[in-house]
Amino acid sequence: MIISLAAMALGATVPALTSACAATTAPYDASTTLNKDVSAEDIAGLRDIGVSDYGETAPGLSVSPDGRWVALQLKRAVPSINSYCLEIVAVPTEGSGPVRVIDQGGTLLLSAEPRFEYGPVYTGIPVVVRPLWSPDGSAIAYLKRVNGQTRACVAYLDGRASTLLDHGSGDAVRVAWGPDSRALAVTAVQLAQLEHERDIEALSGYHLDDRFIPSSSNRPYLKAPFPTVTRNIDLPSPSATTHRLAPATPAFFGWVEMTGDAGKPQDSVTERLAQNGVMARCRAEACSGRIGKLWKSSDGKEFSFLRREGTASDQYALYHWRRGSGEVVRRYLTKGLLLDCQPTAGTDLVCAHEEATRPRHIVSLDPRTGRMLNLYDPNPEFAVKAFGTVERLYWKNDRDIPAFADLVLPPNHHAGERHPLIIVSYSSRGFLRGGTGDEYPILALAAHGYAVMSFDMPPDIGSFAKGVSAPERSAINRKNWANRRSVESSLERGIKLIEEKGVINPSKMGITGFSDGSSSLWFALINSKLFQAAAVSHCCEEPVGSMALVGSRTARYFEEGGYPGILQDDPAVWAPMSVMRNAHRIDVPVLLNLSSDEYLWSLETIRALRFHHQLVDAYVFPDEYHVKQQPAHRLAIYRRNIAWFDYWLRDILPPQRDERSRWQEMRGDAGPSG
């Protein structure tokens, strides 16, 4: 019997398997993975806790009322059937007993929010599905997308079959428990009437106005805010034969979170406590700065808090402070991520933790001692994978702004050996997966013999200006492309630092880019001669195309932030940034993996490059948005990016026949290709 992905990791109890979960691999066997390099398939098939992002709420953890369980959504991409195995998992916080898989199934739920006043606009970013415990601790409610509709689902800790609730029309967006745990309030967005009115308008033609985002759709978006309806739904009573767990008994929680007031400063422990009615002054240096979550002990005599620190604020520290004492002790420090920490029964916190070569897992952490215990690792096979060294490097750019990167070497690196270098950006925090957007598998590239610079972009220069509005901050960044120059300086100095280590071949370097990182990539190709190959996810900033394709509403926002207007076609302004105007100079082979939602941005640039006989290849992935999420697409992108760099930097032929013949023709053809 093939068991579920969570059970595969820890021998959990499971419900009946859904097709995507049944398609996952056989149970984990350490002997089959010992000393194996990380592959693109390994990264594509990771079991993810929540959303693979470094935001504080990304894991979506939820502690039960009695503090003895933490619930989460676990997802695993299954490229072979282009689907996801989605599970709701309950993990014992005391570290004993099996993990319980209490529900499976559904499709990935993507965020669809208004952009300015119109929407819903899809970006491809998944929704953080945070399970909601019933007051009696016997059940969990969460959002589940089934058959094209998002509905409220109730799953039970005692093993009963889950219940999908029928709230009527529209997609559910919020759920809330009644006080007796026997009913749910389900709020659903209602778009039918707005869509009907748009269909009526279509009969006489849509008026071309602020509702349009031409790059995404040939129909106008709907005017927000969208109407919602909330229904109270009674849950079905359990059958007489159903064994129900006893109601959760009140638990002792050793810590209580001190939340911050929105809009007020969050850079002082003293101020945060005052916002919660606690008059306690901490004068230690550690009590100011980038303060994260803060907890008070149940007796009010102790405090613990998370703080971002380090040269580039790249580390997470946990501090403990006893009231009345001037001593604030750092109990734990990591260069990885420590996210979504919450109090449990007793004196520990439960957190999501990840490091450069270890994917996200669940730990308990004692704020008084710093003792950390592993509770649940959904990817145990990574403990025996072969990794090269990962070294965090620090430097400053020409504006004295701190920057950092993680240098990842191949597992079989030997002293004196020089490797081709690949740049992956634009965040290097936690598990080194595939860079922002997850299209460039860092550890798999290292396993293929590359040194990889996982580059964390420095703070934008506008962020250092105090008391300015968002448009003013953007204008500071845009003026003479100042922030692009700042990033380029950071990148070049970081590469120089790596070159001085003697581990790379500076004549064999590739660069990648996603979203803002793609703008940095194109700026680097125009303004430097460092790179011999490039792979990019988006394109490009051009004087006409950029402003026309975003639509009139977004164009005005950009113009307010200092972006050159559509009529300001000043060659001097665009010389450092426009790929089209520099197409004759960009002689680097460029691969573009584009989403169907955004590929129109690329057409004039691709045509310009091909007109000048430059080496460019491009693919469009259907039904994808800014962040591509289809498992088959992501694995194809991983593989193609690796093959692209193998071919242009190492003369290794690609395994796919069509790519092999096309790339060989590109390399040998000096005539027009457009």
Q: In what order do the strands lie in the sheet with 222-223?
A: 110-115, 118-126, 222-223
Using alpha carbons only, what angle is made at residue 104 by residues 100 and 110, rounded to the nearest 5 degrees? 120
Q: Where are the alpha helices (DSSP H) in 583-630?
A: 603-611
Burial class of residue 232, CB neighbours in 10 A (0-12, 13-18, 19+): exposed
Query: What span, in angstroms and rounded, lies between the C-alpha atoms of 245 and 239?
Result: 13
Helix (H) / strand (E) element for 443: namely helix 442-447
Length of the chain: 674
Indicate if 626 belongs to the active site: yes
Q: Where are the alpha helices (DSSP H) in 11-150?
A: 19-22, 30-33, 40-44
Bridging pattern class, strands 533-536 and 504-513:
parallel
Query: What span, in angstroms and rounded, lies between the C-alpha atoms of 174 and 452?
Result: 42
The answer to whether residues 145 and 173 touch, using CB atoms and an 8 Å cutoff, is no
Residue type, 139: A
Using alpha carbons only, what angle is made at residue 512 by residues 511 and 516, rounded to the nearest 5 degrees? 120
Structure tokens at 108: 């990935």
Helix (H, G, I), strand (E, B) or coil at 321: strand
What DSSP state is assigned to residue 338? E
The active-site residue out of 215, 515, 596, 673 is 515
Radius of gyration of the chain, Cα coordinates, nearest whole angstrom: 26
The active-site residue out of 87, 354, 598, 624 is 598
Query: What span, in angstroms and rounded, lies between the C-alpha atoms of 438 and 224?
Result: 31
The answer to whether residues 155 and 235 touch, using CB atoms and an 8 Å cutoff, is no
Indicate if 598 belongs to the active site: yes
Residue type, 562: G
The answer to whether residues 452 and 442 touch, using CB atoms and an 8 Å cutoff, is yes
Selection from 165, 169, 162 nearest residue 152 by Cα: 165
The active-site residue out of 320, 419, 626, 633 is 626
Query: What span, in angstroms and rounded, lies between the C-alpha atoms of 371 and 381?
Result: 24
Please give the positions annotated as active site.
515, 598, 626
